[in-house]
Amino acid sequence: MRVFLHQLRAEQKLFWRSRELAFFTFLLPILFFLLLGSAYGDDEINGVSGYQYLLAGMIGYGAASTTFAGLALLLVIRRESGVLKRLRATPLPPATYIAAVLASIILIFLVEAVILLAIGRFGFDVPLADSIASLVVVLLLGAASFAALGIGLTALIKSAEGSSAVVNALYLPLSFISGAFFSEDTFPKVLQVLAAVLPLSHLIKLTRDVMVFDDAVWEHLDNVAVLAAWGALGLVFAVRGFRWEPRER
């Protein structure tokens, strides 16, 4: 536990000092919320206020950008620069290390979600969910599933140079198709079908149902199941493909 907390503190320091990572994964969803909110926050979308609609999308986008994209980038860069290999030669237990990295990125996502919720609540009168417990369960489930996918993704990325291109090419279209920025109701049918398969649309829908419609999380076990299934898929890739060593040169 002492080593876990020691590593968690170091992970926090490392994340906030890496300005690009902190900006693109943490700050960007908050900026988009303000920006898109100013564009159509006062409109009505699917029967609710634009701000209410957008907030759930930005929380989902935040989960994808921190626990999926941010985590994958951070691990690939550390792997390819030889840091992971070096850690393996120390008595730091691998499980403790992974746990601390995961806890750190999930904590960062939760901080981001709280900031988004606070901006929504105090800036734009978006009411909080009736069931805070349901909201917390949804956020943690989303964070865990995307973190598993993020670690799984590192197995498919060969080099540090190409990592941000690969990660961006995945999570930005994913966020768009899944209706993080705009309602997907106006999208072509093929994109809507694709969105229904992808995990992020389910996380956004769950967040929206819990926040806007005050549903409890267990009323939407179908969405929970799809999200968890993606998480399990990520876990399989993570367990099978995770490497400590950089690519052979």
Q: Which residues bind another protein (CB under 8 A)?
A: 2-3, 6-7, 10, 13-14, 17-18, 81-83, 85-86, 88-93, 245-246
Q: With both helix axes pointing from N to C terminus, report the angle between 160-177 and 71-80 in degrees, rounded to the nearest 10.
A: 170
Burial class from Cβ neighbours inside 10 Å (0-12, 13-18, 19+) for residue 57 reads buried
How many angstroms separate the CA atoms of 44 and 31, rounded? 21
Q: Which is nearer to another protein, 42 or 245 (CB)?
A: 245
The nearer residue to another protein, 2 or 240, going by C-beta atoms, is: 2
Given the complex with another protein, which of 55 and 74 has the nearer CB atom? Answer: 74
Closer CB to another protein, 80 or 184, in the complex? 80
Distance in angstroms (rounded) separating the CA atoms of residues 244 and 78? 9
What is the nearest approach in angstroms of another protein to the Cβ of residue 108? 16
Residues linked to residue 50 through DSSP beta bridges, in sequence order = none
Q: Which residue has the tokens 């957008």?
A: 54
Contacts of 175 (CB under 8 A, 6+ apart): 60, 61, 64, 65, 181, 200
Find the shortest distance in angstroms from Cβ 28 to another protein. Answer: 20
Three-state DSSP at 158 gives coil
Helix axis angle, 199-211 to 221-241, nearest 10° = 140
Q: Which is nearer to another protein, 160 or 228 (CB)?
A: 160
Q: Which two tokens stand for residue 179?
A: 């209706």
